[in-house]
Amino acid sequence: MPVQAKAQTMIRAQAAKVFEAFVDPAATTKFWFSRSSGPLAAGETVHWDWEMYGAGDDVHVRDLEPDRSIVFDWGGEGTLSRVVMTFTSLDDGSTFVEAVNSGFHGDAESVVAQALDSNGGFTTVLCAAKVWLEHGINARLIEDKYPQALSPDWKGR
């Protein structure tokens, strides 16, 4: 069975609002990456930057079902992995968000390390999204995850 990393949480907001927060970089930059070349759209490739770390990645959007799911591939040449994000409306008007990352490459030790890193990363992203969407607060969880790796030019958001 392929190794998967999975993170999930409930966000107390309508699915349309939560989904849009992940599609529209004007919202996503409040809690995840710091810059994007554009919004997510099926069949498009966008570039995300984490300027605080001097890092970036191309995101190849494979499928987008409004208010329900986003499927994208990311990673460098020969290391692309697939991310499936689902947004499930709950009876109380909140949304259950799940991110599953799979398709890791390398030997067994490398695959496990990538999956663990992905799990921690997506858990942090979902927690940051929850705080921003529920309370309007940028908790700076992404930039505080690895303060020792912050770019010396980074001044914060």
- Identify the CATH number of the domain in which residue 27 sits: 3.30.530.20
> Please, which residues bridge with residue 82 across strands?
73, 102
Does residue 1 carry a pLDDT above 80?
no
Asked whether residue 100 is domain-assigned, the answer is yes
Q: Are 72 and 59 in contact (CB under 8 A)?
A: yes
Expressed as residue numbers, the domain containing 37 is 7-147
Q: Which tens digits make up the pLDDT trace of 78-114?
A: 788 999 999 999 999 999 999 999 999 999 999 999 9
Taking residues 38-48, report their average pLDDT: 97
Distance CA 94, CA 134 (A): 10
Number of domains, the chain: 1
What's the pLDDT tens digit per position in 109-143? 999 999 999 999 999 999 999 999 999 999 999 99
CA–CA separation, 61 vs 42, rounded Å? 5
Please indicate, yes or no, if residue 34 is contained in any of the structural domains: yes
Tell which residue, 145, 132, 139, has the closest CA to residue 11.
Answer: 132
Whether 155 is in a domain gets the answer no
This prediction has a pTM of 0.95
Please indicate, yes or no, if residue 69 is contained in any of the structural domains: yes
CA angle 49, 44, 154 (to 5 degrees): 5
Amino acid 5: pLDDT: 96
